[in-house]
Amino acid sequence: MLALNSTDVRREWSSIVDAVVRDKPQFIKRTRDYMFLSNVKTLESLLSAYTFHVGVFDEDDGSVTLSLDEIDLVENGVDLNDAITKLAYGILDYSEDYYREFSYWARGSRVSHIPYVLKALIINDVKKIGDLIVCRPGKT
């Protein structure tokens, strides 16, 4: 791996950050630990393939329930648009909580949530998150 030594990175911090922002991400090695330093634009590109997939369930009372596949979230709204908006808020809220307690949540079965959490945090816009929700008929 083309990794920079952490001692060199510390010594040349400003120029390394400039290179990351303007040129390319960097791999950094500190003893046995490897890290990846990137600007947000590159991270957005890495996460561009991630969308939110939901099962859509029409309820007996006329409301709509959405069940998110990637994260265990379920929202109900008076119609599909209302449910999508509520789910988008739920995704952003969950992502903020997850990030605050990252060392706890990024373990075990929830480690797969990381790209979705980072994507929601980078977007930080309920409308845009809602636009990434892909609906499919739910199974009963």
Beta strands in the chain (DSSP E): 3-5, 26-30, 33-37, 52-58, 64-68, 74-77, 133-137
d(CA 56, CA 70): 14
| Residue whose token pair is 């590109």 | 45
Q: Say if residues 56 and 137 touch (Cβ distance below 8 Å).
A: yes
Reply yes or no on whether the pLDDT at 64 is more than 60. yes
3-state secondary structure of 134: strand
Looking at domain 47-137, its CATH class is alpha beta
The pTM for the full model equals 0.87
For the chain, domain boundaries: 3-38, 47-137
What kind of architecture, by CATH, is found in domain 3-38? 3-Layer(aba) Sandwich (3.40)
pLDDT at 140 over 60: no
Residue 136: predicted pLDDT: 87
Segment 104-121 mean pLDDT: 93
Rounded to whole angstroms, what are the CA distances from 46 to 41, 49, 130? 9, 8, 20
Which pLDDT tens digit goes with each residue over 8-60? 999 999 999 999 999 999 999 999 999 999 999 999 999 999 999 999 999 99
For residues 2 and 132, the model is more confident at 132
